[in-house]
Amino acid sequence: MAKVLVLNGPNLNMLGSREPEIYGAVTLAEIETEMKNLLSAQQIEAEFYQSNHEGDLVDRLQKIGTGCDLIIINAGALTHYSISLYDALKALGLPIIEVHMSNIYNREPFRRQSLLSPLAIGGVFGFGALSYRLAAKAAIDYLCRSKGEERYEP
């Protein structure tokens, strides 16, 4: 069975109450439940991890090692400046899908650069909680194709 690690960075534990005009009213727990259901329906195990601390995220990546097949990551603000997170992801060499609920490219200038995008096989941003659902579907498709199976059709 394939395994996906869904990694969330700082302040994403506040979804549902944090700036609902940008991020909506859906909580991280609700997003995780939906993703787990989507992935498990395709025989893919999902593990979820969120931390407000950069080092904890790096530790989690080092701990999982190659114990998963793909990483979906919303690094929050760390997207824009965390070289240590970049290095940890690069060292793993696993396929990565970057996800953001807001469109980072039409926000403040300091949010318009992602250090993680060059490592990613793709990214989804700007669709609120739907961004996570789309990332899960992209992960399913990628994992199906990597096993030589037909493409996943949502």
Which residue is catalytic, options 53, 81, 86, 100?
100
Dihedrals φ, ψ of 123, to 5°?
Answer: -150, 155
- How confident is the model at residue 19, as a pLDDT? 78
The answer to whether residue 153 is domain-embedded is: no
The answer to whether residue 76 is domain-embedded is: yes
Q: How many CA atoms lie within 13 A of 95 on its CB side?
A: 18
- How confident is the model at residue 105, as a pLDDT? 84
Domain count within the chain: 1
Q: What range does the domain containing 105 cover?
A: 2-146
| Of 28, 26, 50, 48, nearest in space to 39 by CA | 48
The answer to whether residue 41 is domain-embedded is: yes
CATH code, 115:
3.40.50.9100
| 23 is known as an active-site residue | yes
What b/e readout covers 39-71, taking b as 16+ CB neighbours within 10 angstroms? beebebebebbbbbebeebbebbeebeeebbbb
The per-residue pLDDT string of the chain (154 residues; one tens digit each, 9 = 90 and over) reads 999 999 999 999 988 888 788 777 899 999 999 999 999 999 999 999 999 999 999 999 999 988 999 999 999 999 998 999 999 999 999 999 999 998 888 877 776 778 899 999 999 999 999 999 999 999 999 999 988 877 666 6
Three-state SS at 49? strand
Which residue is catalytic, options 23, 86, 132, 142?
23
The answer to whether residue 22 is domain-embedded is: yes
Question: pTM to 2 decimals?
Answer: 0.93
Dihedrals φ, ψ of 2, to 5°?
Answer: -70, 155
The answer to whether residue 151 is domain-embedded is: no
CA–CA distance, 18 with 13 (Å, rounded to integer): 9
Q: How many CA atoms lie within 13 A of 31 on its CB side?
A: 32
| 100 is known as an active-site residue | yes
